[in-house]
Amino acid sequence: MSFLRSAALLGFVLSVALAPGLAAARSITDQLHRQVEVPDIVNRVVILQHQTLDIAVELGAADKIVGVLRSWQGLIPGLERVVPALSDLPTPGDLTSVNIEELLKLAPDVVFVTNYAPEEMIEQISSVGIPVVAISLSEDAKVAKPTLNPVFDDDDAAYTAGLKQGVELIGDILGARPRADALLDYVFSEREQVQIRLQGIGEEERIRLYMANPELKTYGTGKYTGVIMARSGGINVVAEAGVKGATTVSIEDVLHWNPQVIFVQDRYAPVAGEIRNSPAWQPIEAVGAGRIHITPEYVKPWGYPLPEAMALGELWMAKTLYPERFTDIDMQAKADAFYERFYGQPYVGPH
């Protein structure tokens, strides 16, 4: 696009955004603790974060999405089955970058970004008159620092409060607050039932767990992965060792930690076969016992939580670790109930 054409387009967008009396606005506080003016009525959004994209769909706001992040299909592939039209949407940016000219063509009312989006990216979007809302799904005094690997005083408390705050914020902006409240009620009700069934498991009885990503990448403290493991009655051996954030470890580290169970995210399923067939992994207790599990899509044991991870993922993991406490639970029925209510169809993904 030529400079003159870009300038003309920018001028048009700014004139629309600044036209007096055109649209009422309100001030919200995003999850970087920034004050942002957003329109009272939002009809067009660009979402440059996969967690927010998933939540927007769960809130019934897919029709308001006019642009998505480039990498969404690799990060959250199951969403394509739920909303096939997402595959046809423009991709004017990604988690840490934006093409401002392509973004301007979409004339969004609001752009959602991740909390670790570079400050210059947020400023670039804001400078053309488009409100930018950062979502972290975590809440702690330290989360205001935009980082991929936050450090919290209490990971569980940070992600519990942060998911609630994030879903409410997205719901408020998209005009879907009643559905957001219903989603949160569902999530925390299901979560409570898991904790009731796990009562009485002593610290020494908790199963030692490891999350295996490609190339010996994994998650330590500060990530939701450790929270879902703890909430499921296990211990993340990486976090226990004091390793922080999304990181790369060595096979010697894993051999030393000697986890009893290894989980592999569904998006990295081939890693499970690599571990089973690798001589280097054979001394590990989980491998010898055949306790390597590929998580279903809805578990989403990532660095940041999602509603279905708390409502379904923690239950699936707890049932996998302590099946005798969950003999009456049918995970297909549980997944169907959640998906039918918040996605409008039964769960048909891999288990």
Average pLDDT, the chain: 91
Mean pLDDT computed over 76-92:
94
Which neighbouring-strand residues pair with 93? 69, 98
- Look at residue 23 in the predicted model and tell me its pLDDT: 63
- Look at residue 330 in the predicted model and tell me its pLDDT: 97
Same domain? 283 vs 245: yes
Same domain? 257 vs 215: yes
Is pLDDT of 11 > 80?
no
User: How does strand 261-264 pair with strand 207-211?
Assistant: parallel
Same domain? 170 vs 226: no
Listed in sequence order, the residues at least 6 apart from 331 whose beta carbon sits closer than 8 Å to its beta carbon are 296, 312, 315, 316, 319, 351
Same domain? 219 vs 105: no
Is pLDDT of 50 > 80?
yes
CA proximity to 125, closest of 166, 95, 97, 90: 97
Is pLDDT of 13 > 50?
no
pLDDT in tens, 148-191: 777 888 999 999 999 999 999 999 999 999 999 999 999 999 99
Same domain? 154 vs 208: no
Distance CA 127, CA 108 (A): 14
What share of the chain in percent tops pLDDT 70? 91
Same domain? 143 vs 239: no
Mean pLDDT computed over 212-217:
97
182 lies in a domain? no
**pTM, full prediction:** 0.89
192 lies in a domain? no
350 lies in a domain? no
Mean pLDDT computed over 317-329:
97
219 lies in a domain? yes
- Look at residue 151 in the predicted model and tell me its pLDDT: 82
Is pLDDT of 15 > 60?
no
Structural domain span for residue 262: 202-342
Same domain? 15 vs 154: yes
- Look at residue 204 in the predicted model and tell me its pLDDT: 92
The count of other CB atoms within 10 Å of the CB of residue 142 is 13
140 lies in a domain? yes
Domain count, the chain: 2
User: Sorting pLDDT into bands at 50, 70 and 90, what band is 300?
Assistant: confident
Distance CA 251, CA 295 (A): 22
Same domain? 129 vs 272: no
Domain with 273 in it: what CATH number? 3.40.50.1980
Tokens 């997944």 found at: 335
- Look at residue 298 in the predicted model and tell me its pLDDT: 93
